[in-house]
Amino acid sequence: MRVSNGWRRFLIVLPLICFLPYFYSVRELHQSTTIGDLPTKKTKKFDHLVLGPAAGQGLPNRLHCQGTKALNKTHLSTSSHVSRFGDKIAFVTVFTIYNSSLNVRSDEKASNVVTVGNVSYSKQERSMAILNTFINFIKVTMPQSNIVILTDPASDLTMSRHGVTVYPIQGEYSRDKLMLQRIRSYIAFLETRLQELSQRPAQTNHYIFTDSDIAVVDNLGDIFHDFPNFHLALTFRNNKDQPLNSGFIAVRGTVDGILRAKNFLQKVLEVYKSKYIKASRMLGDQLALAWVVKSHPSFDARRFSKAQAFLEDVGDASLLFLPCAIYNWTPPEGAGQFHGMPLDVKVVHFKGSRKRLMLESWNFFSSSSNISDVLCLVLRSGRTKYDF
C-alpha cells in the first residue's frame, strides 16, 4: 500500500508526540490521577517534575501505578513501624558544610538559587534540605530510630531536631577526599562505640551507615532479626566493575559485630589508599569494597547476578549481602536493571541529578501522607535528570 507524503509525516510525528515528557507540579499531581487528565507543558529545562512511563507494569512483584496512584502496594500505618524486636537502630551519615560558600558574592548566590515547590534554595541550603529530607523519611518510617551526623569539627553544622546528634570527627573533609574520609569517620565512630560498650554494656544499638540522599520507605529492623549471624551488611547489584554500593552499610551493634565490622572497614581503607587513591573523590570506596570481597579465595562473584540475600565469610567477618533492588533502589537504574520497582523496596537512593526528585517526593508525601503513591511518583520521574 502506498502512503502519501502527508500520511508519512503524520506517522513519523505521532510516536514522538506519544513519548513527549510531562511536566507537573505537586498540586497538579494531586488534582489528577491519570496521564490523560494532566496538562502538557513544554520546557527545555528539567526544573519541574517530569513524568514518564512506569517501568515494570504487569510484571509480578513490581509496583503498579495508575498515574501517581499505587494499585498494588499499601504501606502500614506509622504506628506499625515501631521496632518489634526491642533492639534500637541508629542511622549514621557523613555530612559537612563548606564554610567558604558563605563568602560567595550576592550576585553569584542569586544565580545559584533553585526553587522546589514554594521554596527557593541556595547551594548550601540545598544540601541542608536534602539532609533534612533524609531525616524526615526516617522519622516517618522508623520513628524510634536516632540519626547521627558525622561532620568536620570546623564546619558550621548545627541541628536542633529530636533524636538527631551532630558528632564531630577530626579528618580531611575536602571535596576531593570526602569519600576517603567517610570510611575513616565510620571507623572512628565504631571505635568510640566499642569503648562505650566496654565501659557501659547496654541494650544493643545497631547501626546503618548511609548516604544522606536516601529515603527510607519501609522498616529496616527486620534485617537484624531475620539474619541473626552477620556482622556487617552490604548492598550489591549485577555490575561487574562496581557490584557493591557503599551508600548502605549495616553493622550489628554487639561488641563482636562492631569489632569485626571495624576491622573489615580498616582493610577496605588500606586497599583504598594503596590501589584506588586516584579515585578518592568518587567511587574509590566502592572499588576497594569490591576488591576486598572478590579477592577472598572462597567468594563466588557470580552470586551478584541474582537479587537474593546471602551470607559469606570474608576474613574474620560474616558479611550479609543484600540486593540493591530492595535495600538501595536507585531511580536511574530502576527501569532498566531492576525492571521497575520491587513491591518490597525499603530504601530509595536519589543519586546524582535525582536529588531534586528527593525534595519533590517529600513535598508530595507532605500533601498525601501515602508512601506508596510517593513511590509511583519516583518510579515515573526517576529516569529524568533534573536541574538542581
State the Cα–Cα distance between residues 376 and 365, nearest whole angstrom. 11
Contact 110, 249 (CB under 8 A): no
Instruction: Please list the residues that pair with 88 across neighbouring strands.
Output: 205
Nearest in space to 252 (alpha carbons), one of 207, 193, 216, 198: 207
pLDDT in tens, 276-333: 988 877 788 999 999 999 999 999 999 999 999 999 999 999 999 999 999 999 987 6
Q: What is the pLDDT of residue 337?
A: 66
Low-confidence spans in the chain with pLDDT less than 70: 1-46, 74-86, 99-111, 333-337, 388
C-alpha cell at 292: 576486598
Q: What is the pLDDT of residue 29?
A: 52
CA-only gyration radius of the chain, Å? 22
State the Cα–Cα distance between residues 322 and 310, nearest whole angstrom. 7
Q: What is the pLDDT of residue 107?
A: 53
CATH number of 87-95+118-328: 3.90.550.10
Location of C-alpha cell 520507605: 217
C-alpha cell at 110: 542569586
Q: What is the pLDDT of residue 87?
A: 80
Nearest in space to 359 (alpha carbons), one of 340, 342, 378, 373: 378
- The dihedral over CA atoms of 360, 366, 367, 369, expressed in degrees to the nearest 10, equals 120
C-alpha cell at 242: 562496581
Q: What is the pLDDT of residue 334?
A: 58
3-class state of residue 183 by DSSP: helix
State the Cα–Cα distance between residues 155 and 54, nearest whole angstrom. 41
Length of the chain: 388
Nearest in space to 234 (alpha carbons), one of 273, 163, 286, 280: 286
Q: What is the pLDDT of residue 339?
A: 84
pLDDT in tens, 52-69: 889 899 999 999 999 999
Q: What is the pLDDT of residue 76?
A: 52
pTM attached to this predicted model? 0.85
- Burial of residue 166 (CB within 10 Å: 0-12, 13-18, 19+) is middle
Q: What is the pLDDT of residue 33?
A: 42
- Burial of residue 52 (CB within 10 Å: 0-12, 13-18, 19+) is middle
Alpha helices in 295-346 (DSSP H): 324-327, 331-334
